[in-house]
Amino acid sequence: MTHTIDYKGFYLAFRDISRLVHSSTSVQEVIDLAVQKTTELLNARGALLRIHNRETDHFEVAAACGFAEQYLGKGPVSREQLKLDLNHRDDVCIFKDIWQAPRVDSPQRAWDAGVRMILDYPLHHDDAILGVIRVYLAEAQEFSQAQLDFTISIGEQCACALNKARLIENQQSQYNHLVLQTEKLSALGRMAAGIAHEINNPLGGILLYSSNMFKKAGDGDPCKKGLEIIMRETTRCKGIIQELLEFSRHKAPDKIRLSLNDIICKALSILDNEFMLRHIKVTKTLADDLEDILLDGNQMEQVFINLLLNAAQAIEKRGHIRIETRLDADHGLEIVEIADDGCGIAPEDAGKLFEPFYSTKSTGTGLGLAVSYGIVRNHEGQIRVASQLNEGTCMTIELPLDRPAPSELRNQGNA
């Protein structure tokens, strides 16, 4: 038996799904509507929708209507179990004999519920398969090509709605995560300021008295080594407190026009002894066509010192650090690369390098790179890392060629 096409029904289904995809941010609302409309349009006993899980490559039950609601608790199925060619968007699988149809756990139950035929069709979006709808029909019937085309069209509309709803949910999840991170960092800033006030002064007293006792202790005094340890660890604690303060303040950069090459040379001169003690060779290739750009010299110097120290610690002894600057006029950028041939970074650690308190070093605080990242971002720049384990790391900083400073604009206006 062949049924006539319900053109009005298909039009209303398109309209309802289109409205929902523009008004709803819930994936569940979209797929519930999909199975409901499919059941109504095909005058079916029910419909079941499975969504493709990209991580497992399985299809999981997500929505059902009518007779199919009893399958809501069923487990996932693989592509092979579907017995559906998912590579062709125009394929509809029709099972006229429910006793031979795949994935029917109890054909007798389906038969007793009035199911006589099963229809499967995929939900495609672009080249991706997002899901599969199974329709349980009350009677065996012949479908015209026009009916099948309309069915596929409804499936594509459902897939578009499902894809958009998924994108919205993902964006909402990312936004919520960023809000939570912002709140955590704000609380951390307040905590850091409190810690500094409560601990910094006592640490200063400990360091002062232990230094005086160390100076008075003779060479053979057994307490001298202990005092040395106290001084060293107290100094380290003060350094951690200072890093916490710098991280919490988020001080806006005080920008003036400076040479990026000059700042790098100053940072290198500060670390000369460190490189010499570790027997590290430093090669610098500084472009002579760089323009002076708006920078906070102290903050950017801190960034380069942090990155160079990290490179030196990754090498430990006898290695090579390469620092290079260049102009990318096409993209309006001045670029700095700091590369080393040290131990490198494991892939699982690379994505966490700029997170506060994450460190691969036993004595690290995990704040140096977080502070450096914040400074570069405050300069409207980018900082990226490329690394291979046991081969080395390359840190790349991109800083924009800037617009005139406000003071320069005022001077131009007065002229």
Residue at a domain's end among 173, 188, 209 = 173
Assigned token pair, 63: 């929505």
Residues 241 and 262 in one domain: no
pLDDT tens track for 355-379: 666 565 555 555 678 778 888 988 8
DSSP per position, 72-123: TT---B-HHHHT--TT-TT--EEES-TTT-TT-S-HHHHHHTT--EEEEEEE
Whether the per-residue pLDDT at 31 is higher than 90: the answer is no
Residue at a domain's end among 195, 219, 249 = 249
Whether 414 maps to a domain, the answer reads no
pLDDT tens track for 223-249: 888 888 888 888 877 777 776 666 556
Return the CA Rg of the chain.
33
Contacts of 415 (CB under 8 A, 6+ apart): none
Residues 228 and 356 in one domain: no
Of 33-42, 371-380, 405-414, the least confident: 405-414
Confidence label for 398 from pLDDT (cuts 50, 70 and 90): very high
User: What integer best gives the mean pLDDT of the chain?
Assistant: 79
CATH number at residue 226: 1.10.287.130
Residue at a domain's end among 128, 153, 173 = 173
Whether the per-residue pLDDT at 390 is higher than 70: the answer is yes
**In terms of residue numbers, what domain contains 133?**
7-173
The rounded distance, in Å, linking the Cα atoms of 265 and 11 is 70
Looking at residue 89, what is its pLDDT? 46
Whether 305 maps to a domain, the answer reads yes
Whether the per-residue pLDDT at 166 is higher than 70: the answer is yes
Assigned token pair, 174: 């990312």
Domain count of the chain?
3
Mean per-residue pLDDT, 47-71: 86
Better-scored residue on pLDDT, 90 or 209: 209
Positive or negative: CA dihedral 341, 347, 353, 356: negative
pLDDT tens track for 242-289: 766 665 566 677 889 999 999 999 999 888 888 888 889 999 999 998
Whether the per-residue pLDDT at 323 is higher than 90: the answer is yes
Looking at residue 352, what is its pLDDT? 67
Looking at residue 83, what is its pLDDT? 57
Whether 1 maps to a domain, the answer reads no
Q: Kindly report the pTM of this predicted structure.
A: 0.46
